[in-house]
């Protein structure tokens, strides 16, 4: 669903529903690595330094003034269970996942004396907090500017203490009329205070230094995934597929929604996921019609339909996958009718998707329109009206470092983009919600579904559920 873009995962420390479970798993990692140079919140994998450096160089070639970005402080969320995760733009450009860092990237254009004006010959500087051994006794090791070999580890030729940031900015202010940074903006969720805090700090520390927004330029880069990002996304999808298969096998009346979610999160974590891509959505019966249902408190009943929108994060990248299941293993005729319409809409969009297609509703190559038209011309509600009115969210969004990834949703698709295809019909009067969501990468000629191994066909789903129920019954008999 596209409508809550940038309202999710905006905290520096991710507030996932299963944070305690996640914290416990990461705690094990931290314990196992005491004494090494790995810090507790380190992601499982990371792209090579050269990849992050190439992204910075690309951006530096697009600007005529220095770019200044701040990472998260680690104090964004006041919770003992919070786990640090870097500000996404900062991570995209540095691969650095620790607190209180900043980066300055000078424009690529050279002055007559070599190097960018005011840069002292440096093309970029990473600023890190000083070594704090007392703090490290609690949190584990962190990188610091005085660590031997810090340049090679971070991929920055210049790594300086964060206290040097103000003098650097003061110098920049004498040479450039403005800097580029990520400016604060208001989202429908009210915005996130990080950028505003940094701008207030800047006003106090370097008064008069103007700034322009670099957000859209970074977002445009983030829309095309690198080979490394594609690998991380594929792993996130694989883990999510595994979790959905487990859910299909265990689903039955009498379980609570949270028990299904707990099993799925366990599959993610045991497979190496560091966190959920977003809070798991498991909504049965009436809850199937709430798009981002989050209470997970219902006891699943015979005859319920259950929407499971659950996706893993792997090495910072999030999958986003939904399946809709009959609680008792067999869709009612009406549930199957609606399910098949949603599946038909998804298949129509999948068949049409190729480079040049658009994810936004208005575009002339809009995939949304294809799915909407399918839904609106198939089936009726109880009053005999077409079903388009019950498809109440967008069809697609990009995925990446954010499950609702950044960038212009009307930008025509290009090879290397990764996005969701997720039609849905939600009829509260019938306690009937159906969503099917898959993740796809754009190829030179079309798209490839990353989540294709996870069945969407209702017969296949019923078969998997029936086989699992049979095994459960046999197991019970064996116990008697």
Beta bridge partners of 442: 447
- The rounded distance, in Å, linking the Cα atoms of 198 and 200 is 5
Tell me phi and psi for residue 322, to 5 degrees.
Answer: -130, 135
Q: Which does 125 bind (CB under 5 to 8 A by kind): ligand GLY, Mn ion, none?
A: none
- Whichever of 221 and 403 has its CB closer to ligand GLY, that residue is 403
| DSSP class per residue in 78-127 | --TT-EE---HHHHHHH---SSS-EEEE--SSPPTTSSSTTSTT-SEEEE
Q: Which does 278 bind (CB under 5 to 8 A by kind): Mn ion, ligand GLY, none?
A: ligand GLY
Least Cβ distance, residue 291 to ligand GLY (angstroms): 8
Least Cβ distance, residue 276 to ligand GLY (angstroms): 10
Least Cβ distance, residue 320 to ligand GLY (angstroms): 5
Burial class (CB in 10 A: 0-12, 13-18, 19+), 328: middle
- Whichever of 393 and 463 has its CB closer to ligand GLY, that residue is 393
CB 243 within 8 A of CB 249: no
Q: Which residue has the tokens 């339909």?
A: 305
Is there binding between residue 88 and ligand GLY (CB under 6 A)? no
Q: Which does 87 bind (CB under 5 to 8 A by kind): ligand GLY, Mn ion, none?
A: none
Least Cβ distance, residue 5 to ligand GLY (angstroms): 8
Q: Which does 40 bind (CB under 5 to 8 A by kind): ligand GLY, Mn ion, none?
A: none
- Whichever of 252 and 393 has its CB closer to ligand GLY, that residue is 393
- Whichever of 403 and 427 has its CB closer to ligand GLY, that residue is 403
**Contact positions with ligand GLY (CB under 6 A) in 1-60:** 1
Least Cβ distance, residue 14 to ligand GLY (angstroms): 14
CB neighbourhood size of 190 (10 A): 9
- Whichever of 88 and 320 has its CB closer to Mn ion, that residue is 320
Dihedral over Cα of 26, 438, 451, 443: its sign: negative
Is there binding between residue 309 and ligand GLY (CB under 6 A)? yes
- The rounded distance, in Å, linking the Cα atoms of 111 and 64 is 11
Least Cβ distance, residue 1 to ligand GLY (angstroms): 4
Is there binding between residue 438 and ligand GLY (CB under 6 A)? no
- Whichever of 102 and 359 has its CB closer to ligand GLY, that residue is 359
Binding residue count for ligand GLY, defined by CB under 6 A: 7
* Among 88, 437, 439, 462, contact with ligand GLY (rule: CB under 6 A): 437
Tell me phi and psi for residue 134, to 5 degrees.
Answer: -65, -45
- Whichever of 1 and 350 has its CB closer to ligand GLY, that residue is 1
- Whichever of 1 and 25 has its CB closer to ligand GLY, that residue is 1
User: Please, which residues have CB within 8 angstroms of residue 132's CB and are 6 or more apart in sequence?
Assistant: 142, 144
* Among 18, 278, 293, 391, contact with ligand GLY (rule: CB under 6 A): 278
Q: Which residue has the tokens 């008792």?
A: 328
* Among 229, 422, 438, 462, contact with ligand GLY (rule: CB under 6 A): 422
Task: Catalog residues that contact Mn ion under the rule CB under 5 A.
Answer: 309, 320, 322, 420, 437
Least Cβ distance, residue 278 to ligand GLY (angstroms): 5
With b meaning 16 or more CB within 10 Å and e meaning fewer, what string describes 409-437? bebbbeebbbbbbbbbbbbeebebbbbbb
Beta bridge partners of 67: 105, 180
Burial class (CB in 10 A: 0-12, 13-18, 19+), 456: buried
Q: Which residues bind ligand GLY (CB under 6 A)?
A: 1, 278, 309, 320, 403, 422, 437
């Amino acid at each position: 669903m596209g409508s809550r873009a940038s309202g999710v995962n905006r905290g520096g420390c991710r507030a996932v529903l299963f944070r305690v479970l996640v914290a416990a798993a990461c705690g094990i990692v931290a314990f196992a690595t005491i004494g090494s140079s790995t810090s507790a919140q380190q992601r499982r994998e990371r792209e090579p330094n050269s990849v992050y450096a190439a992204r910075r160089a690309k951006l530096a070639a697009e600007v005529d003034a220095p770019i200044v970005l701040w990472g998260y402080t680690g104090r964004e969320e006041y919770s003992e269970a919070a786990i640090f995760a870097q500000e996404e733009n900062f991570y995209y450009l540095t691969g650095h996942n620790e607190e209180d860092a900043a980066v300055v990237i000078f424009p690529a254009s050279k002055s007559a004396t070599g190097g960018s004006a005011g840069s002292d010959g440096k093309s970029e500087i990473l600023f890190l907090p000083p070594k704090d051994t007392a703090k490290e006794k609690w949190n584990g090791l962190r990188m610091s500017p005085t660590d031997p070999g810090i340049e090679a580890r971070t991929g920055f030729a210049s790594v300086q203490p964060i206290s040097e940031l103000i003098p650097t900015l003061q110098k920049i202010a004498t040479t450039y009329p403005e800097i580029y940074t990520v400016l604060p903006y208001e989202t429908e969720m009210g915005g996130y205070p990080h950028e505003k805090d940094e701008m207030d700090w800047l006003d106090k520390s370097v008064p008069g230094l103007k700034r322009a927004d670099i957000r859209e330029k970074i977002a445009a880069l983030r829309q095309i995934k690198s080979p490394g990002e594609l690998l991380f996304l594929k792993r996130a999808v694989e883990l999510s597929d595994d979790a959905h298969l487990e859910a299909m096998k265990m689903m039955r009346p009498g379980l609570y929604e949270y028990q299904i979610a707990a099993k799925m999160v366990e599959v993610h974590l045991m497979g190496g996921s560091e966190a959920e891509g977003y809070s798991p959505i498991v909504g049965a019966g009436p809850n199937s019609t709430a798009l981002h249902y989050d209470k997970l408190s219902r006891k699943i009943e015979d005859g319920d339909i259950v929407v499971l929108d659950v996706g893993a994060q792997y090495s910072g990248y999030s999958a986003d996958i939904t399946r809709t299941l009959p609680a008792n293993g067999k869709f009612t005729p009406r549930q199957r009718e609606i399910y098949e319409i949603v599946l038909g809409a998804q298949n129509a969009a999948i068949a049409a998707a190729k480079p040049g297609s658009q994810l936004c509703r208005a575009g002339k190559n809009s995939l949304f329109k294809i799915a909407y038209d399918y839904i609106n011309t198939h089936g009726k509600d109880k009053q005999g009206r077409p079903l388009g009115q019950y498809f109440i969210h967008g069809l697609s969004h990009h995925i990446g470092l954010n499950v609702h990834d950044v960038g212009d949703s009307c930008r025509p698709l290009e090879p290397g983009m990764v996005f969701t295809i997720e039609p849905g019909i939600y009829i509260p009067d019938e306690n009937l919600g159906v969503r099917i969501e898959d993740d796809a990468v754009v190829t030179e000629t079309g798209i490839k579904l990353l989540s294709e191994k996870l069945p969407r066909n209702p017969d296949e789903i019923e078969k998997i559920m029936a086989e699992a129920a049979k095994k459960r019954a046999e197991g019970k008999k064996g116990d008697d």
